[in-house]
Structure 1
């Protein structure tokens, strides 16, 4: 390969056929398709895209409509994962901290939101056959898993927030990053961890799919805001550090003429931006979902009132009338009212 060179295993501790471009990072180089030693994540993206398409076909055959926005959101999320793992972003991210952090933020803070808004679990539940026989076993197994202690623990705020914080402080401020980057599979494991961390964190917040628990919109907003300070403090720590916080990125190729500390400043800035902007977007989404939920509840109440002649409202009005009559009688007799039907 004329335009590529093997990664310096002495400086970066990498083993295996990891390759990166020989030229310094450019916009065209970052966007260009780059061959990978193992196409693990591109294959994963292809599988995710194919399974979603199969689910759509099954729903169409059964005459079930599926929102176009969910489909678009899912494939945008898949495209984002493919973009940062099969192009120059993946290649240059092996040597430049700011490029790697951009990849991390896309995998954790942006792609999961689009994937979750695609409601893949709901699609699977609707596409799989129901029933008590063998055909319905996969669907029953998925439902049991969603109600299992493991799923409940994985969606608990204590776990989701801890995983989110660990993906920053536990990886970059400890030797764990260098350990993971010492092998090809460790690198891919870390990228998958970033993606899964974002899904686990944003899943119970968005609650588009049937995640365990029944949290109010206000509590979900509070959970979303809880991760913001940790994100901001980490970004500040990166930008204010007077030495490279990750030894792996301390020695980029000399021919690239990259100022390590200036690049680290960019990395911290990207971390800060990707903490604020996605949080704002998710908060807007939550507000929209909240309003839609209230609108659905109002429509449901209206339909119930039409069916039963507004029996609930009539019963409540009758209760208020009885209370007023009771208070009037108590006032005439000179007694003090202590409760709806208790006087003294």
Structure 2
């Protein structure tokens, strides 16, 4: 093919990257994640149409968030960026960070599980089987295990150090199926880690807002040190990116330093975003709790306050 050369599982670029080339769709370079992203977005929009026909309200920002998450996924798996990620460590690291930290947040804020539970038909029989199966999965022991912080936090950390600081990365990149599995692993890790923390959908377990903030902050130092460790490395960590095309003028060690800077910088904005979401959820829940308490007091009175006043009157009477 003119202008390209073959590599394992995808189209590979021969020209140096530019912003225009990076985000040009190229069907020969599609990952399976790009295909599934298109199908997932179509299913979400079909569900949205069903809710509207049924008169069920759905927040516009949820739809916008899911669409943005789908676009971000396609941008790193369905464009020429996907091909460049096989050649340059910096482009690969940007792809990794989007797959594990940006796309999962946007997709989860779109509440796709809630959408499915509301849009899928209810009842018994074949029509209601998909919704019943989804509920069964959500309440399964496997789902509770996969959403537990004792699993999600180590998985998040191991996905960084266990992949890049061992021969595993080169082995996965050399095999078409292994490369696809690695990309899917990054995405699933992000979904499992941020899903229970955001709490935008029903999850197998629930945690208080303070506990969710703690779950978010615990692995962040490991993430920051991961980026710093790559930047400080005096030699190449992986062999895959050791020989970029000679005509591009890319220094592999300098490109690795850029990859570390990308990994380090990506931890800040997503963390702040999630902290803000959880904080406002916390504040909103407190406001709703206080409103409910006030309505109850208006309806039946404040039993605790009445009992306290009664004790004060009894004490005063005994003293007299």
Residues 141-196 of structure 1 show CA distances to partners (whole Å, capped at 9, x for unaligned) of: 22222121111111100111011111101111111111111211111111111111
Report the Cα distance in structure 1 between the residues aligned to 2:41 and 2:260, rounded to whole angstroms.
32
2:58 partner SS: coil
Say whether the 8 Å CA contact 1:232–1:275 is kept in structure 2.
Answer: yes
Report the Cα distance in structure 1 between the residues aligned to 2:9 and 2:188, rounded to whole angstroms.
26
Residues 204-250 of structure 1 show CA distances to partners (whole Å, capped at 9, x for unaligned) of: 11000011222111111111111111101111110000001111111
> Could you tell me which residue of structure 1 aligns to residue 308 of structure 2?
320
> Could you tell me which residue of structure 2 aligns to residue 46 of structure 1?
38
Unpaired stretches in structure 1, ≥5 consecutive residues: 8-15, 334-344
Mapping for residues 1-344 of structure 1, pairs under 5 Å: 1-7=1-7, 16=8, 18-36=10-28, 39-306=31-298, 309-311=299-301, 313=302, 315-328=303-316, 332=319
Residues 78-121 of structure 1 show CA distances to partners (whole Å, capped at 9, x for unaligned) of: 00000001112111100100000000000101010000000000
- Closer, same or farther: CA 17–146 of 1 in aligned 2, 3 Å: closer
Q: Give the TM-score taking structure 2 as reference length.
A: 0.94
Q: Kindly state the Cα deviation for residue 329 of structure 1 after the two structures are TM-superposed.
A: 6.2
- Closer, same or farther: CA 55–303 of 1 in aligned 2, 3 Å: farther
Residues 248-283 of structure 1 show CA distances to partners (whole Å, capped at 9, x for unaligned) of: 111112222211111111101100110111111111
1:160 partner SS: helix
1:20 partner SS: strand
**Between Structure 1 and Structure 2, how many residues are aligned?**
320
Q: Give the TM-score taking structure 1 as reference length.
A: 0.88
Unpaired stretches in structure 2, ≥5 consecutive residues: none
Q: Kindly state the Cα deviation for residue 38 of structure 1 after the two structures are TM-superposed.
A: 5.7
Alignment root-mean-square deviation, CA = 1.8
Which structure has the larger Rg? 1
Say whether the 8 Å CA contact 1:34–1:91 is kept in structure 2.
Answer: no
